[in-house]
């Protein structure tokens, strides 16, 4: 896999847009006012963005309120660009736009957890290389209208948000590619956990475009969604009516007959009227 740290290895100053710059403008003017950003991380209109380039060449990223566009060439070697949240969560993420790679590239929800350190991808589309090639398949999960194949690998002495480290990397790869829709991340996190793929505390979480030794462009709009989870993981966790519910497990919602008490230190948090989860 060709994934690199989006936090610890980035040092360039962020280019920020003042809220007054983006207020009361037409859609056309808004596009003009999008900010071109340098390698690094920052926030624009409350949205976290991250841009990593292995080689600082051949990449242009523009960021607006809840949207970004990026073009890249093979001169950058590896580029990862996206917007989202500095601290992610088990949330539904909706997005739309275009993704036009020439070669090896991925369009994914991308993020990290700590304690344990885990790098993860929920991949909705890719270029001419399936990112699961050579990985260990763990199972499948049905979510948001499609089946995703679940994979796991170990990255040894690789760049991470904690510096060079050895850590697990998890993948859910959609069997039928798409660009746009809702990704209910909790479905994947629950399926991974049921397969023994442990996660830790959430760190960054972005809707990312990654290109490796390739070229292309993407223009993506991102928002937090609010759909109820709908998943069928292989080896799903069980939640009896008595006893405690594990981290990421369902603990409530209309029609729920399973456990309602979360294992310490987690608490039952409502996503919507139909689904509550131990977080």
Distance CA 201, CA 120 (A): 13
* Ranges of H-type helices in the chain: 19-22, 27-33, 185-194
Using the 8-state DSSP alphabet, how is residue 74 labeled? G
pLDDT given for residue 238 in this prediction: 37
Buried-state track 216-226, b at ≥16 Cβ within 10 A, e below 16: bbbbbbbeebe
Residue 272 has pLDDT above 70, yes or no: no
- Spatial contact of 99 and 220, defined as CB atoms under 8 Å apart: yes
Residue 92 has pLDDT above 50, yes or no: yes
Better-predicted residue by pLDDT, 278 or 148: 148
pLDDT given for residue 264 in this prediction: 84
Do strands 118-126 and 165-174 pair parallel, antiparallel, or not at all (unpaired)? parallel
Give which of 265, 3, 274, 247 is closest to 118, Cα–Cα: 3
5 pLDDT band (50/70/90 cuts)?
Answer: very low
Give which of 184, 204, 47, 54 is closest to 120, Cα–Cα: 204
Give which of 72, 69, 148, 68 is closest to 103, Cα–Cα: 72
pLDDT given for residue 227 in this prediction: 40
Catalytic residue among 119, 156, 162, 213: 119
Residue 133 has pLDDT above 80, yes or no: yes
Residue 27 has pLDDT above 70, yes or no: no
Cβ neighbours for 232, distance < 8 A, ≥ 6 positions apart: 141, 142
Q: Which two tokens stand for residue 138?
A: 């763990």
Look at 17-31, 61-75, 89-103, 246-260 and tell me which has the smallest mean pLDDT. Answer: 17-31
Catalytic residue flag (residue 119):
yes
Q: pTM, whole model, 2 decimals? A: 0.71
Catalytic residue flag (residue 213):
no
């Amino acid at each position: 896999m060709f994934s690199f740290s989006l936090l610890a290895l980035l040092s360039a100053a962020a280019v920020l847009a003042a809220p007054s710059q983006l207020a009361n403008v037409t859609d056309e003017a808004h596009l003009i006012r999008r900010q071109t950003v340098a390698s690094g991380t920052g926030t624009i209109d409350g949205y976290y963005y991250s841009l990593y380039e292995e080689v600082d060449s051949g990449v242009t990223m523009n960021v607006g309120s809840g949207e970004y566009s990026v073009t890249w060439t093979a001169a950058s070697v590896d580029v990862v660009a996206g917007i989202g949240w500095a601290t992610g969560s088990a949330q539904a993420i909706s997005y739309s736009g275009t993704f036009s790679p020439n070669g090896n590239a991925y369009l994914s929800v991308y993020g990290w957890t700590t304690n344990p350190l885990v790098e993860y991808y929920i991949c909705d589309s890719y270029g001419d290389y399936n990112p699961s090639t050579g990985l260990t398949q763990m199972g499948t999960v049905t979510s948001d209208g499609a089946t995703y194949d679940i994979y796991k690998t170990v990255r040894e002495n690789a760049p991470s948000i904690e510096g060079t480290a050895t850590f697990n990397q998890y993948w859910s790869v959609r069997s039928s590619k798409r660009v746009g829709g809702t990704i209910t991340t909790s479905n994947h996190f629950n399926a991974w956990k049921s397969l023994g793929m442990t996660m830790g505390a959430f760190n960054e979480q972005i809707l990312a475009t990654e290109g490796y030794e390739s070229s292309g462009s993407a223009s993506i709009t991102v928002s937090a969604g609010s759909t109820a989870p709908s998943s069928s993981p292989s080896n799903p966790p069980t939640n009896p009516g008595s006893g405690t519910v594990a981290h990421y497990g369902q603990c409530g919602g209309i029609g729920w007959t399973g456990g309602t008490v979360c294992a310490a230190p987690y608490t039952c948090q409502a996503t919507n009227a139909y689904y509550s989860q131990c977080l």
